[in-house]
Structure 1
Amino acid sequence: MTRSTSGLGTPAQLKDPNYTPPIAKAIPLGIQHVLAMFVSNVTPAIIIAGAAGFGFGSNSPDFPQLIYMIQMSMLFAGVATLFQTIGFGPVGARLPIVQGTSFAFIPVMVPIVAGKGVEAMAPLMGGVMIGGLFHACLAPFIGKIRFALPPLVTGLVVTMIGLALVKVGIQYAAGGVPAIGTPEYGSLQNWTVALTVIVVTLGLKFFARGMLSVSAVLIGLVAGYIVAAAFGMVSFGNVGRAAPFALPTPFHFGFEFSAAAVVGCCLMGIISAIETVGDVSGITKGGADREATDKEISGATYADGLGTAIAGLFGALPNTSFSQNVGLIAMTGVMSRHVVTLGAIFLILAGFVPKVGAIVSTVPIEVLGGGVIVMFGMVVAAGVAMLSDVNWTRRNMVIFAVSLSVGLGLQLEPGALQHLPETMKVLLSSGLLPSAFLAVVLNLILPEELTAESTEEISGGMGSAKHPAE
């Protein structure tokens, strides 16, 4: 498809991160970036609040905390994006990188907060802050540890992230975690709303082009929202009560040291750093047809970690670069970092207005469920796509099989860990961390090719699994 650049600038200008298109076109391009990431950015806050047991009803004492977390998701996504686009000192890639709340940390964070209410947020935020600082410290060394994370490992990790989250999507579509066991859970009405989101999203994704396709999930949610409103499932009572303006408060949820939260966030920081390296490379390749420099990769990692640490200080969740916006840059052909800066300013302004968070909170959980079924399924698909680059020798099959079986098994049956210390139970029951640990270690210590005798018993004589190259 030929990219239209009419009125935006010359081809050479469009490949320059420091170029600013005419403001009348730069503002819509910046808002386009916000629309592409908005749903994914606020969803983790809703998931973690739900896992912790925050009440989603307007009369719940915890409900204002949910609105606050949504507000902070927008504000600090914008702040972290400015770290990337404008930068200071060694911080920032000075590229059009959009930051947002990371899905990758959810499988680790859920066991930390599960059913513990607002009190669980203090140790979680301690982990986010320390993990963010650890993440930033990886910047000078990030290029040196990439060898330990080939597509076999990264593909497995991304796949596990998606698999850990698909259950949440189904629960939300059926009526939400608080509704489990009630007569309305899984009702035809709930599934009608969720399926509306899915059908509209898929229709636009595959049969529309341009921004309609890029914003398919957002438009699908709007369609589901309209159907839910017709069913009487939408209430605007909290919007009127929300303040028109509010500042973030440092240590909003407090600060506590939790070994499980710190270790989990630090380990996931490594995965997030590698993800950011891939996004930086994708932006420079897709937008400017060149490789990313070491300075850009290091600066992006600094911004990633520092953005996460500051977000945790004010009660927000970890930040990372957003891959969907990388695709948007490749589609539009506009490499300007100042376009993304305008989008970041829009996010920051929205983050100062609790009424925006209150409006987001009016979205019924069934509507969100339809959206996250698609999003989490796409996470799994992205992991499978990464795994397609793997040379499937018997050695790699063994690494994948053992890592996936142990990680997914522990996630599905956490009771198997009941005799371990609490910290170990939290880390291992995430499923993601044991999978990633096993994959990295086995990839480093196993010989490049196992002997036929050592794999015959494992494969059970399944000759069809043998790679054609062998």
Structure 2
Amino acid sequence: MLPDTKTTGAGDNPESDAVHQKLPLPRCAALGLQHVLVMYAGTVAVPLIVGGALGLSKADIAFLINADLLVAGIATLIQALGLWGFGIRMPVMMGVTFAAVGPMIAIGLDPSLGLQAIYGATIVAGLFGMLVAPLMGRLLGVFPPLVTGTVITLIGVSLMGVAINWAAGGQPTVTRMVDGVAHAVANPDYGDPAKLAIAALVLLVVLGITRFAKGLWANISILLGVMAGVVVSLALGYMNFDGLSDASWVAVTTPLHFGLPRFEFTAILSMCIVMLITLVESTGMFLALSEITGRRMTPQLLTRGLRADGLGTLIGGVFNTFPYTSFSQNVGLVTVTGVRSRYVAAMAGGFLVLLALFPKVAHIVASVPAFVLGGAGIVMFGMVAATGVRILGAIDYGKERHALYVIAISIGLGLIPTLSPNFFQHLPAWTHPFTHSGIVLGTCAAVVLNLFYHGVVSKERSFLLAARTSHGTE
């Protein structure tokens, strides 16, 4: 007998499901702080990049960061707790999508458009996202376990490059200004043995805690590992708090700070394309969380999550920031800790709002070196990939004889942006949000190839396959 597609089984029982579990406040706060540390660098990177590219003043960039933290916190609260028809009510952390960086810089540098056109396009893109979310939700049938497992594996493998660069101390190349011209040069500190040693220490601390500790200590293994790395970094002089005295104690983010938004067709079209890409990425993240938490995905649940992406983007446009999506780093953290409560994500969202209000505290959090996070990132992103491998391992390859082609080609295409960033450099700029995201590229390839070989899987059969796969049977 097929399961009821209008429910999500035991995963939706508010009294028994770990997703809805309310943890003691101290434990919830520690776990929430852990989520913030993992995603903080990523969430402030976009306003730093965009603000710098557009030549904004230091004060304006600081305002962008505060606005980003505020909206990230609000969007996270909506996703985790739910608001009317918005929010997937799972442990989701929200942050600005990197897919929007290129288009936003292009819009901002265009003399006929500018920063206000970015915000106008972001507002419309948010509305567009909310409108198309139900359509995306109805496409759940094209994500059977073969596609889901492939996408989740690709997410973990793609993110491993991020963790490796973190552990090595940043990017292998840095930008230097020579005679007023930007040049990419090798980063002399990349792979510094001392930094690699600290990243290894963090990894060893995490492994030791997960092996020998239980309860709360095991749940916050990432936080404790990062704290150990911070202590060593401070002792060796690798952490500094430059600029802390310049940061204000309290900051209030006001809407439309840079003036009324402008609604220009070319800018709106560009950001709506970004919004579609964001929804595809979020679908992959939500499917990964569904497998990790055991909460079965339904079209209604997926629609709520994607609709919240649109709402977060709309709020971002009003509050002087950018499009929002679920952060994959934190999907890995849920896997490592085993804590599936959405209230932990909500607590982290509350912390983000507080950080937006108190810039000095935000500055301290931002001072955690990337190489400290690298050791933890290897564990988190590897766990995401392992979840995908587990799903793929439960597939009957005798019955689905073309499955290996779907997996091999999708992962191969999805790794192109990671292994060869310049592979698509001669394609038109409007394709870059698609071709520069391995997750989007691999997800689309997996969906298309699976349709080519196996056709459309009904929603009912997709649910049945997912239920059987999650129990390791076919």
| TM-score (norm. length: structure 1) | 0.71
Distance 1:361-1:61 versus aligned 2 partners, 3 A rule = farther
Distance 1:251-1:311 versus aligned 2 partners, 3 A rule = same
Percent identity between the aligned chains? 29
- Matched with 1:377 is 382
In structure 1, C-alpha distance between the alignment counterparts of 2:64 and 2:391, rounded to whole Å: 32
CA contact (8 A) 2:70 2:353 kept: yes
CA contact (8 A) 1:53 1:117 kept: no
**CA offset at residue 326 of structure 1?**
6.5
Q: Note if 1:100 corresponds to 2:105.
A: no
- Matched with 2:393 is 388
Which residues of 2 match residues 9-158 of structure 1 at below 5 A? Answer: 14-15=15-16, 26-46=24-44, 48=46, 71-72=66-67, 74-84=69-79, 87-92=82-87, 95=89, 97-101=90-94, 105-106=97-98, 108=99, 132-158=126-152
**CA offset at residue 273 of structure 1?**
3.8
**CA offset at residue 354 of structure 1?**
0.9
In structure 1, C-alpha distance between the alignment counterparts of 2:145 and 2:16, rounded to whole Å: 28
**CA offset at residue 404 of structure 1?**
2.2
The AA in structure 1 aligned to 2:406 is I
The AA in structure 2 aligned to 1:149 is F
In structure 1, stretches of 5+ residues that fail to align are 1-11, 449-468
Distance 1:89-1:172 versus aligned 2 partners, 3 A rule = closer
**CA offset at residue 262 of structure 1?**
3.8
1:376-417 Cα offsets, whole Å, 9 max, x none, are 333323332333343333311112222222332354335443
**CA offset at residue 223 of structure 1?**
0.8
Distance 1:426-1:139 versus aligned 2 partners, 3 A rule = closer
Distance 1:368-1:344 versus aligned 2 partners, 3 A rule = closer
Which residues of 2 match residues 299-448 of structure 1 at below 5 A? Answer: 299-311=304-316, 313-314=318-319, 315=321, 318-320=324-326, 323=331, 344-392=349-397, 393-409=400-416, 411-447=418-454
In structure 1, C-alpha distance between the alignment counterparts of 2:49 and 2:377, rounded to whole Å: 15
In structure 2, C-alpha distance between the alignment counterparts of 1:376 and 1:324, rounded to whole Å: 5
CA contact (8 A) 1:71 1:356 kept: no
Q: Secondary structure at the match of 1:319?
A: strand
CA contact (8 A) 2:67 2:356 kept: yes
- Matched with 2:198 is 193
The AA in structure 2 aligned to 1:248 is T
In structure 2, C-alpha distance between the alignment counterparts of 1:70 and 1:80, rounded to whole Å: 15
Distance 1:329-1:230 versus aligned 2 partners, 3 A rule = closer
Q: Secondary structure at the match of 2:37?
A: helix
**CA offset at residue 276 of structure 1?**
3.4
In structure 1, C-alpha distance between the alignment counterparts of 2:60 and 2:166, rounded to whole Å: 20
Q: Secondary structure at the match of 2:93?
A: strand
1:286-340 Cα offsets, whole Å, 9 max, x none, are 7xxxx788766544443343124323543255233864787799858x78x6x87
In structure 2, C-alpha distance between the alignment counterparts of 1:438 and 1:61, rounded to whole Å: 39
In structure 1, C-alpha distance between the alignment counterparts of 2:395 and 2:121, rounded to whole Å: 33
In structure 2, C-alpha distance between the alignment counterparts of 1:223 and 1:409, rounded to whole Å: 35
Answer with 132-141 or 219-228: which moved more.
132-141
**CA offset at residue 226 of structure 1?**
1.0
- Matched with 1:266 is 276
Distance 1:386-1:164 versus aligned 2 partners, 3 A rule = same
Answer with 218-227 or 432-441: which moved more.
432-441
Q: Secondary structure at the match of 2:396?
A: coil
Q: Note if 1:226 corresponds to 2:231.
A: yes
- Matched with 1:163 is 157
| TM-score (norm. length: structure 2) | 0.71
Q: Note if 1:245 corresponds to 2:250.
A: yes
CA contact (8 A) 1:142 1:298 kept: yes
Q: Note if 1:206 corresponds to 2:200.
A: no
In structure 2, C-alpha distance between the alignment counterparts of 1:47 and 1:413, rounded to whole Å: 22
In structure 2, C-alpha distance between the alignment counterparts of 1:411 and 1:344, rounded to whole Å: 29
1:59-105 Cα offsets, whole Å, 9 max, x none, are x9877677656644543343124324665443346x5x4442359x5
In structure 1, C-alpha distance between the alignment counterparts of 2:199 and 2:118, rounded to whole Å: 30
Distance 1:416-1:186 versus aligned 2 partners, 3 A rule = closer
**CA offset at residue 211 of structure 1?**
2.1
CA contact (8 A) 1:76 1:311 kept: yes
Distance 1:299-1:402 versus aligned 2 partners, 3 A rule = closer
Report the aligned-residue RMSD. Answer: 4.4
